[in-house]
């Protein structure tokens, strides 16, 4: 039987999983349905987001509020990639150190927007940040 703290923690966990699941499904939709190939930095972000969606789903199913211990590092790594991608997109990081190849999709091109101009790197960073905040709130509820 879960106490009130566990129940509120579970709802936070569910919210984190929904964010990760929606982000993962959206990334697949953008690539497979819209036909937009991901850039190198998008791939690195996906290597954090896709497993995060699975880990958080299993944790929700098992009501495992200790998930923050192993999900938080994934979210932080993804957020760091998303932050660097956002800085590249904004022009803060010079194009000369852009990690994308000349033949692949651009990390900062016009194709990096969705829904009428919302930059994908900014959206990814916001989602990773929201997941981090939710996991930290779960952590606070778990620790005495």
- Give the tens place of pLDDT for each residue, 15-30: 999 999 999 999 898 8
- Give the tens place of pLDDT for each residue, 56-79: 999 999 999 999 999 999 999 999
SS3 23: helix
**Tokens 């692949």, located at residue:** 104
What predicted TM-score, i.e. pTM, was given to this entire model? 0.86
Beta bridge partners of 113: 119
Q: Between the CA of residue 27 and those of 24, 31, 80, 91, what are the distances in Å?
A: 5, 6, 18, 23
């Amino acid at each position: 039987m879960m106490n009130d703290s566990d129940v509120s923690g579970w709802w936070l966990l569910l919210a984190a999983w929904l964010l990760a699941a929606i982000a993962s499904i959206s990334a697949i939709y953008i690539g497979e349905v819209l036909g937009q190939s991901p850039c190198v930095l998008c791939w690195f972000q996906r290597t954090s987001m896709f497993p995060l969606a699975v880990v958080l789903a299993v944790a929700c199913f098992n009501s495992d509020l200790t998930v923050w211990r192993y999900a938080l590092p994934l979210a932080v790594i993804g957020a760091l990639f998303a932050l660097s991608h956002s800085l590249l997109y904004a022009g803060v990081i010079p194009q000369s150190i852009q990690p994308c190849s000349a033949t692949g999709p651009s990390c900062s091109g016009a194709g990096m927007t969705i829904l009428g101009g919302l930059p994908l790197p900014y959206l990814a960073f916001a989602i990773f940040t929201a997941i981090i905040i939710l996991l930290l709130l779960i952590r606070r509820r778990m620790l005495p």
